[in-house]
Amino acid sequence: MRRPLKKQRSFTPDLEYGSETLSRFINTVMWDGKKDTARRIVYGAMGKIKESGADPLETFDTAIRNVSPLMEVRSRRVGGANYQVPREVPSARRMALSFRWIIGAARSGKGKPMADKLADQILAAAKNEGDAIKKKDEMHRMAEANKAFAHFAW
């Protein structure tokens, strides 16, 4: 029997740009409930993007779209053997993964303020470069390599 679908949460748009996606991104950046700090970091990154001469919200949306994976592999046990079965990624998970990868790549850098590192990662992802894009490509390679097991998809 399938589990019941979760109720979809509605998100309020962020204060400065009026974007629900950016609001969700701020929530993902947040640590220990410190939303004001997360806002300061994200808006600082958006300010750096604006200084570089690009539209911040458009660049952010492009970066998220570029980093979002289309396929992933899920483990499936069939007859005593585990197979990595390629599956399409649902849209909510696609966005969550892209947020996680961009933020993780920014946090892994050392020696600069978080807003600068985040701006660098967003700009790199918008140009199809950077650590987050490598992560997406790696996931797509895994799915491509295990295409033979696609018939095990449930």
- The answer to whether 123 touches 107, Cβ cutoff 8 Å, is no
pLDDT given for residue 83 in this prediction: 86
- The answer to whether 152 touches 118, Cβ cutoff 8 Å, is no
pLDDT given for residue 6 in this prediction: 84
State pLDDT tens for residues 70-97: 999 999 888 899 988 899 999 999 999 9
pLDDT given for residue 117 in this prediction: 96
pLDDT given for residue 146 in this prediction: 87
The domain spans of the chain are 20-152
From residue 14, give the alpha-carbon distance in Å to each of 43, 57, 84, 114, 123: 10, 12, 38, 19, 20
State pLDDT tens for residues 104-120: 999 998 999 999 999 99
pLDDT given for residue 84 in this prediction: 87
Q: Which residues of the chain have pLDDT under 50?
A: none
From residue 12, give the alpha-carbon distance in Å to each of 16, 24, 59, 85: 12, 9, 21, 36
C-alpha span between 94 and 8 (Å, rounded): 15
CATH topology of domain 20-152: Ribosomal Protein S7 (1.10.455)
